[in-house]
Amino acid sequence: NKQIVLKHYVNGFPKETDMLLNDSSTINLNLPHGSSNAVLVKNLYLSCDPYMRARMSPSIGSYIDSFTLGSPLSGYGVAKVIDSGHSNFKKGDFVWGGTGWEEYSIINAPETLFKIEHTDVPLSYYSGILGMHGMTAYAGFYEVCAPKKGEYVFVSAAVGAVGQLVGQFAKLSGCYVVGSAGTKEKVDLLKNKFGFDEAFNYKEEQDLDAALKRYFPNGIDIYFDNVGGKMLEAVLSNIRLHGRIAACGMVSQYNLEQWEGVRNLSHIITKSVRMQGFVVTRYYHMYPKYLEMIIPLIKQGKIIYIEDIAEGLESAPAALVGLYSGKNVGKQVVVVARE
């Protein structure tokens, strides 16, 4: 059972060499029945996620634990049930949810897994648009941002798993939407493929405040924040009265020893802005409603979704590390096996 394990805890930016491919672990492909309700799965698609960096530090004082050194990393993925001690799952079912960065995993709390009912769409989508990332965009945009037709929306890390969907949801809601991303290729995708009204490369802007004034001469109603830091700072001085900010993630800060301060916070007060943090897992009760909306949109080609596929478990460390330099174009997925 090949596994990707964490060698040591990380300071600053993670490197491929912080992880190791362990080829020596073995696993029994039959569960000892009657002893637990665990489920044995074969992992198919693994999701690389920015938050995983926090778990590479020894203590994170957060709502999730650090990874255990020498043990496989864990995260979101899509898998096939090989054996089951749980009445909700049977051999051959496809599931998505928390699993290990390894070929086969024993899931001891299978209640956390979602059974995949619609298999007429690519299975890898459940590691993104039809899984945690789709729910993040959906709950964050519709519930937290409460969009109204005609509003001005800004999305950062806009080509990423979450950002590409938020921008398209904003267009479907009749909003004007601008995205930022870190390469020319990504800016072109935003304008020509995902249907954003405008897009810019934040790495080419000396002055983010001036860039936002150029794209939003009348200010921003909704900011879907994936990056935090200097971009959040600049948005705050361009936010409109009664603006809303969904504090989704702050990927620009995850590898810094000391987080950058936000100086413009007073605009939240003077402009009665609602800035709301949210954790997607608290919205999972809305998943059936989301599937009802998104599956027809995918099938009708009304939502575009781009994946960046890395082949083989051994490519997982590089794929994960690449998130922090923006190497991924679209949702970063690792293929461990195809069924």
Residues that bind ligand NDP (CB under 6 A): 49-51, 133, 136, 157, 160-163, 181-183, 186, 226-227, 248-252, 278-280, 323-324, 326, 328, 331-332
- Joined tokens for residue 108: 């001891």
Residue closer to ligand NDP by CB (options 20, 286) is 286
Taking the complex as a whole, the smallest distance from the CB of residue 144 to ligand NDP amounts, in Å, to 9
Extract the runs of DSSP E, i.e. beta strands, from 166-312: 176-181, 198-201, 220-225, 239-247, 274-277, 307-311
Taking the complex as a whole, the smallest distance from the CB of residue 252 to ligand NDP amounts, in Å, to 3
> Cβ–Cβ contacts within 10 Å for residue 319, how many?
22
Taking the complex as a whole, the smallest distance from the CB of residue 202 to ligand NDP amounts, in Å, to 7
Residue closer to ligand NDP by CB (options 171, 331) is 331
Contact 266/272 with Cβ under 8 angstroms?
Answer: no
Taking the complex as a whole, the smallest distance from the CB of residue 194 to ligand NDP amounts, in Å, to 13
Residue 67 phi/psi, 5-degree rounding, is: -65, 155
Closest residue to ligand NDP using C-beta atoms: 160
> Cβ–Cβ contacts within 10 Å for residue 36, how many?
13
Contact 44/80 with Cβ under 8 angstroms?
Answer: yes
- Joined tokens for residue 242: 């009664």
Of 181, 226, 176, the closest CA to residue 200 belongs to 181
Helix (H, G, I), strand (E, B) or coil at 69: coil
Residue closer to ligand NDP by CB (options 38, 294) is 294
Residue closer to ligand NDP by CB (options 104, 142) is 142
Residue closer to ligand NDP by CB (options 175, 251) is 251
Extract the runs of DSSP E, i.e. beta strands, from 261-316: 274-277, 307-311
What is the rounded CA–CA span in Å between residue 247 and residue 99?
A: 26
Taking the complex as a whole, the smallest distance from the CB of residue 279 to ligand NDP amounts, in Å, to 4
What is the rounded CA–CA span in Å between residue 260 and residue 233?
A: 10
Residue closer to ligand NDP by CB (options 89, 126) is 126
Taking the complex as a whole, the smallest distance from the CB of residue 271 to ligand NDP amounts, in Å, to 23
Residue closer to ligand NDP by CB (options 106, 244) is 244
Extract the runs of DSSP E, i.e. beta strands, from 248-292: 274-277
Taking the complex as a whole, the smallest distance from the CB of residue 247 to ligand NDP amounts, in Å, to 8
Residue closer to ligand NDP by CB (options 157, 212) is 157
- Joined tokens for residue 52: 């995983």
Taking the complex as a whole, the smallest distance from the CB of residue 64 to ligand NDP amounts, in Å, to 11
Taking the complex as a whole, the smallest distance from the CB of residue 236 to ligand NDP amounts, in Å, to 16
Helix (H, G, I), strand (E, B) or coil at 119: coil
What share of residues in the chain are helix, strand, coil (percent, to 5)? 30, 25, 45
> Cβ–Cβ contacts within 10 Å for residue 69, how many?
11
What is the rounded CA–CA span in Å between residue 228 and residue 180?
A: 13
Residue closer to ligand NDP by CB (options 106, 166) is 166
